[in-house]
Amino acid sequence: MHLMNSPARCRLWIALLAAGLGTHAIAAAADVGGDEYDEHAVDEIVVEGIPLDRTIKELAQPTSVIGGDELAKRQAASLGETLAHELGVSSTYFGPVSSRPVIRGQYGERIRVLSNALDAMDASALSEDHAVSVDSILAERVEIIRGPATLLYGSGAAGGLVNVVDNRILEDGLDAPFGGRVILGTDSSTGRQAAAGELAFGTDSIAFHLDFFQRDTDDIDIPGFAESARLRALEEEEHEEHGEEEEHEDEEEAFGTVENTSSEAEGGAAALTFIGDNGFVGISLSRYDNLYGIPGHHHHEEHGEEEGGAEHEHEHEHEEEEAVRVDLERTRIDLQGEYELADMGRLRLKIARNDYEHVELEGDEVGTIFESEGTDTRLEFLHRPFGNVEGAIGLQHKDVDFVAEGLEAYVPPSKTQQTSLFLFEEWQPDDRWTLQASARLEKQTIDAPNLPGYDDNAFGASVGFVRSLGENHSLALYYALTERHPNAAELYAEGAHIAVQRVERGAVTQGMGLFDKETSSNIDLTLRGENERIEWVVTAFLNDVGDYIVLRPTAEVEDELQVFEYAQTDARLYGFEGEARIELLDTDAGHLHTRLFTDYVHGKDEDTGDYLPRITPLRYGVGLHYTRNGFEAAAEATFHADQDDTAANELPTDSYTLLSAELSYKFQDPDLFVFLRGTNLSDEDARQHASPLKDLVPLPGRSLQLGLRYDF
């Protein structure tokens, strides 16, 4: 295997050895999610993204949940940065606001972002500079399914999904006639100032919910130059070759701060739920606004030439590149209901209507307008158990109208419809075995004016099992064979994509006709165990994808922008994730444990032998956590290896280590949680390899974050 011949071989073995401390290998703490220090909290987490009410341990497919105190401490200005430290997860980091989750090296259209199990229906998957319109500041928890989730949520979830779950529609009614929550937070490196609040009140049969949040950020502070040392060295060589040393010396390099990364965001919702003996029905109206800057657009000037001490026939010409900002607005209506059908089972209905628009502003001028209007409808019937068999059958329909107008409208208007029939069944022949299977048939059509339309079916099926190996150990195996439809951008893109400094061309634009469907064969193997002093889990995965759609750079340049073209190839991705929690002290004086964790993904183009672009490198770390009563203290070091297994025209990324520490206290009466957290304490120049701006914008420098959550 090429992996063993790579320069990262020694570090890889060190990571595996560290994760294999003691008689076991790697731990379950990553999947604990909410309150990490609670004993056996993993047993109590129910995953809403699965039709049946199952905990993480009961699922064959690797799943994580982050919620409660842990989610409060991880809150950032974007969903991608909130989740970037979870195992198997990175981010596209296009600044602190526009950052989308990356799962096992997959990003964009292959990672589905959901709100309460329904699609976000925004434009965030289209480009890395587009922010996700789903915010987690008021979420109860965030669920992450690592690997293909196409069987339950469509071909757009070929690489995984993130489901943000809130409690706006109160399915189980109220615990008290009146209650609420107040959240405050700040971050020194991004200047983040956040405040949020929610109220719930009503009776046993009717419940009202109101919430609101506001968050502002400043231009981010960084340890040094915005441009990486590698990029600056390349630019220096280029200037020397063209004899522009003196002019280059006069250019001012961004240092200490990344301009045009500030933001202003706010949102809120009102919801009403009716609860009866046999079920509930609720409706929610929510609004989300975000005005944020897009980094990477640098001010520059061009002067007329002077000849013989006299000015050129033209006077000095000044050309300035205006700061580009995005004004995003989203209005969403959610309808949810559930009804108990006597002895037959339960019927669930979820409908979301989404109206999304973002305007790209170049100074005061409107550059491009992106609009997306869509409806996502999901109907599930959870049938009553037949012996040891329990499951659900469902129907889902999504209809999205997309329009882009203006200078950067590189994707034509399109109307996409998906209609799917899916099935999830579980069989428990005895206490040791749980067998799970699912299947989905999805029809997709794409209509674009004056362009060939797309109309095809995609099928997928999976089978998995969880095998108990005694009281404290288990083995899970999951296999999925899925198909993914191409999307409108991959088929029809044509034109300049200024934010990422390239021209994009789709299959139809290149005269290739319509792309074939991607076909993915994915296998996950998970081992879990626990004894008196250690909990652990390790997962290995392999994903072979036929007709994998990639965006490849070419040697062609158009309007000073490099041309990228969509193409199909065969790809292979494989890797592992794991974590261990080892008890060091558990007495009246407190509880102390250490945490070991690691993840890795390797991606390669099987046709050309080249590496896939923007694949996250090996990561591993160690943490120490102490708790006593309501007090918690923790410190953690995470090492990110260098990434020199790069695609063509992609610069390597240097290694870095992130140090963090935190203190928190949870009061019982009143119910108050406060924390102080320090990140990147060594002020490292850290660059996320999955980010297309990694050589222009590093991660924030040393930062202190203070937060408070008060429940009443």
Residue found under tokens 């090996």: 618
Average pLDDT of the segment spanning 277-297: 93
Task: State how far the Cα of 484 lies from the Cα of 156, in Å rounded to an integer.
Answer: 7
pLDDT at residue 33 is higher than 70: no
The Cα angle at residue 426 between residues 420 and 432, in degrees rounded to 5: 155
What contacts 317, CB < 8 A, 6 or more positions away?
302, 303, 304
Q: Using pLDDT thresholds of 50, 70 and 90, give the confidence band for residue 402.
A: very high
Task: State how far the Cα of 149 lies from the Cα of 520, in Å rounded to an integer.
Answer: 12
Q: Which domains does the chain have, with CATH numbers?
A: 2-305+318-711 (2.40.170.20)
Closest CA to 414 of 442, 469, 453: 453
What pLDDT does residue 305 have?
42
pLDDT at residue 19 is higher than 70: no
Average pLDDT of the segment spanning 491-518: 91
Comparing 30 with 646, which gets the higher pLDDT?
646
pLDDT at residue 244 is higher than 70: no
pLDDT at residue 265 is higher than 50: yes
Model confidence pLDDT, tens digit, residues 128-183:
999 999 999 999 999 999 988 778 888 888 899 999 999 999 988 888 999 999 99
Task: State how far the Cα of 395 lies from the Cα of 379, in Å rounded to an integer.
Answer: 5
Task: State how far the Cα of 368 lies from the Cα of 409, in Å rounded to an integer.
Answer: 6
Q: Are 607 and 637 in contact (CB under 8 A)?
A: no
What pLDDT does residue 306 have?
42
Residue found under tokens 């099935």: 423
pLDDT at residue 440 is higher than 70: yes
pLDDT at residue 250 is higher than 70: no
Other C-beta atoms lying within 10 Å of the C-beta of residue 648: 13
pLDDT at residue 63 is higher than 70: yes
Query: What pTM, to 2 d.p., does this model score?
Result: 0.90
Q: E-strand spans in 387-484? A: 389-406, 414-430, 433-447, 454-468, 473-484
Q: Using pLDDT thresholds of 50, 70 and 90, give the confidence band for residue 95.
A: very high
Average pLDDT of the segment spanning 217-225: 97
Single-letter amino acid code for the residue at 369: I
Q: What is the DSSP letter of 97?
A: S
Model confidence pLDDT, tens digit, residues 582-640:
999 999 999 999 999 999 999 999 999 999 999 999 999 999 999 999 999 999 999 99
Residue 105 main-chain phi, psi, to 5 deg: 80, 0
pLDDT at residue 309 is higher than 90: no
What pLDDT does residue 241 have?
78
Comparing 167 with 17, which gets the higher pLDDT?
167
Q: Using pLDDT thresholds of 50, 70 and 90, give the confidence band for residue 245.
A: low
Q: Are 369 and 362 in contact (CB under 8 A)?
A: no
Model confidence pLDDT, tens digit, residues 188-209:
999 999 999 999 999 999 999 9
The β-bridge partners of 433 are 430, 467
Average pLDDT of the segment spanning 500-511: 91
Q: What percent of the chain has pLDDT over 90?
A: 74
What pLDDT does residue 238 have?
82
Closest CA to 216 of 189, 197, 193, 195: 193
Task: State how far the Cα of 75 lies from the Cα of 82, in Å rounded to an integer.
Answer: 5
Cis bond before residue 670 (omega within 30° of 0): yes
pLDDT at residue 313 is higher than 80: no
What pLDDT does residue 156 have?
80
What pLDDT does residue 709 have?
97
